[in-house]
Amino acid sequence: ILMGFDNYARLNKSIPKIFFTHDNYLRGYTGNVDSKKDFYNKKTVLLVRNPLDVAVSQFFQWKYRMRPEKKAMNKYPAHEADISLYDFVVDENQGLTHIIEFMNNWATELPKIEHLLVARYEDLRSHPEREMARIVEFLGLEVNDEYLRDTAEFASVENLRQKEKENYFWRSGSRVQAKDVNDPNTFKVRKAKVGGYRDYFDDDQVAELNAVVDLRLLPVFGYTSAEISEVT
């Protein structure tokens, strides 16, 4: 419902006003293209995910859900182009390299953001209530364990996928609506699998793509081989 941009603040002033956009569009509007100046003095929650999983997810978004004009505007492969998942991921414009550049831009700017919390997708998947509690506390709100349990249950992959199938989120238009309920790849809530990129490539391709991450991604968010080895 929030994705429908309903202004609940008119009913309850404690509910914040929400403006939804994307960082690349925001910087285009403000002109702060090479910095995160727009966030320096803002309380910021940065959600990150393994760039290889992001790249695979982006492929299915492009293939089944993205409007043709957006593909052209952001230099994606042409609408209905016959391109493999691997070729999409290694594309310099919107593949893995582009995602890493975006993440590196954030990584170099993190020390300049006064109030910052970094949340990892992988941690939210494994410990949703704990990670949401961190976010709630960071935002200066009171943590309510019952609310966290309810939220985690509602936002589970299984529940959201079923609700998408039932068109529960119809007020949000096509944003959270399966293009074909018989094809799981067309769902907004698709797999949500940590490390799921490995399911789509052979061993040589996985090794090659991991090497790209190790070479190009700044060791800040925990996704390089060296960082993973330290944890394990």
pLDDT in tens, 32-86: 988 999 999 999 999 999 999 999 999 999 988 888 898 888 888 888 889 999 9
CA dihedral sign of residues 149, 154, 155, 159: positive
Encoding tokens for residue 119? 């949340």
The C-alpha atoms of residue 179 and residue 47 are separated, in whole angstroms, by: 26
Q: What is the pLDDT of residue 74?
A: 81
The domain over range 2-231 is classified in CATH as 3.40.50.300: yes
The C-alpha atoms of residue 187 and residue 198 are separated, in whole angstroms, by: 20
Q: What is the average per-residue pLDDT within 195-222?
A: 97
Enumerate long-range contacts of 179-186, CB under 8 Å, 24 or more apart.
179/64, 179/65, 180/64, 183/64, 185/60, 185/63, 185/64, 186/60, 186/64, 186/65
Residue % of the chain over a pLDDT of 90: 58
Residue 227's alpha-carbon distances to 117, 151, 161, 163, 219, in angstroms, are 19, 31, 32, 37, 7
Written as one string, the DSSP assignment of 156-220 is SHHHHHHHHHTTTTGGGTTTT--S-TT-GGG-SS----TTGGGGGS-HHHHHHHHHHHHHHS-TT
Q: Is 1 helix (H, G, I), strand (E, B) or coil?
A: coil
CA atoms within 13 A on the CB side of 18: 12
Cα dihedral 165, 169, 171, 176 in deg (nearest 10): -80
Q: What is the average per-residue pLDDT within 103-125?
A: 97
Nearest 5°: the CA angle 11, 13, 14 is 115
Encoding tokens for residue 153? 């249950």
pLDDT band at 1 (very low <50, low <70, confident <90, very high): very low
Determine if the pTM surpasses 0.85.
yes
Classify each residue of 131-168 as buried b or exposed e, where b means 16 or more C-beta atoms within 10 Å of its C-beta. Answer: bbbbebeeeeeeeeeeebeeebeeeeeeebbeebeeee
pLDDT band at 186 (very low <50, low <70, confident <90, very high): confident
Q: What is the pLDDT of residue 189?
A: 81
Tokens 């004009």 — which residue?
Answer: 69
118 forms beta bridges with: 46
Q: pLDDT averaged over the chain?
A: 89
CA gyration radius, the chain: 19
Encoding tokens for residue 32? 């702060």
Comparing 15-24, 78-87, 135-144, the range with the smallest average pLDDT is 15-24
